[in-house]
Amino acid sequence: MPVRKQHFGIVKIRDLFRRHGGVLRTRDILHLGIHPRTLYRMRETGDLEQLTRGLYRLSGLPKLSNPDLVSVSLKIPQAVICLISALALHELTTQVPHQVYIALPRGAEPPRISFPPLRVFWFTESAFREGIEVRKIDGIAVRVYSAEKTIADCFKYRNKIGLDVPLEAVKLYRRRRKTRADDLLRYAAICRVEKIIRPYLDALL
């Protein structure tokens, strides 16, 4: 049964946004019963800001620290932040990703968003589901692979992103107070790169 659209007051709508971390997709806004005309009027008056197509944020909130990851996580909930984007979150790279690197399981529907720019990698089911962590970024739950899983993935996709990326990540990982070589080797086995990673671990860890 379709949700009846209502003409909520501005105060009520702002409260609904706050309950959802200040950011909502258009379809979620409509599902909550907010009338489209009200949504567009609030955008025009500056009460809401449009982050990207189909994604709105309450105005007046602190500036987003990572709007691209927030947008991708809300618009593609199944996606997991991976490879260079994940390394950046874990502070294991000096590279600045100009695309959001995401993993999706093979067979999933390709994402249909024009912004931010994406680089999609299709993982097997076993490689996709392992090592997922959930981080809160700007109040939004963002799925990202753990540091150890990300390093293993980078070795697996070294021909696409360059071998220098995982090698730098291993060096930076070594400087941490606590490393988990066993986890790294377990993920390497899942990604079928254990024999490739082991010599670098023996030399660096």
**Residue 170 or 19, more confident:** 170
Residue 5 covered by a domain: no
The count of other CB atoms within 10 Å of the CB of residue 107 is 7
Radius of gyration of the chain (CA): 20
Q: What is the DSSP string of 22-41?
A: TEEEHHHHHHTTB-HHHHHH
| Residue 3 forms part of a structural domain | no
Of the CA atoms within 13 Å of residue 187, those in its CB half-sphere come to 22
Residues 23, 123, single domain; the answer is no
The Cα–Cα gap between 205 and 203 comes to 6
Residue at 176 is within a domain:
yes
**Same domain, yes or no, for 46 and 82?**
no
Give mean pLDDT, residues 80-93.
Answer: 96
pLDDT tens for residues 59-78? 777 776 788 898 898 889 89
Q: How many CA atoms lie within 13 A of 186 on its CB side?
A: 10
Backbone angles phi, psi at 139, to 5 degrees: 80, 0
In a domain, 73, yes or no: yes
Q: Are 72 and 117 in contact (CB under 8 A)?
A: no
Mean pLDDT across the stretch 41-66? 78
Q: How far is the C-alpha of 28 from the C-alpha of 55, rounded, in Å?
A: 10
d(C-alpha 134, C-alpha 131), whole Å: 10
Residue 138 lies in a domain: yes
Domains held by the chain: number = 2
pLDDT over 70 percentage in the chain = 93
Both tokens of 126, joined, read 């076993």
Model pLDDT, residue 2:
47
Q: Specify whether 168 is located in the same domain as 98.
A: yes
Could you tell me if 20 and 104 lie in one domain? Answer: no
- 31 shares its domain with 87: no
Q: Is 172 inside a domain boundary?
A: yes
pLDDT range class, residue 1, cuts 50, 70, 90: very low
| pLDDT value for 180 | 85
Range of the domain at 162: 67-204
Same domain membership, residue 161 and residue 129: yes
- Check if the beta carbon of residue 152 is closer than 8 Å to that of residue 188: yes
19 domain residue, yes or no = yes
* pLDDT for the residue numbered 203: 67
Residues 107 and 198 in one domain: yes
- The mean pLDDT value for 26-39 works out to 78
For residue range 108-140, what is the model confidence (pLDDT) as tens digits? 888 888 778 999 999 999 999 999 999 988 878
Alpha helix (H) ranges present in 46-193?
A: 67-75, 83-89, 125-129, 147-156, 158-161, 164-174, 181-190
Same domain assignment for residues 50 and 108: no
Same domain? For 49 and 76 the reply is no
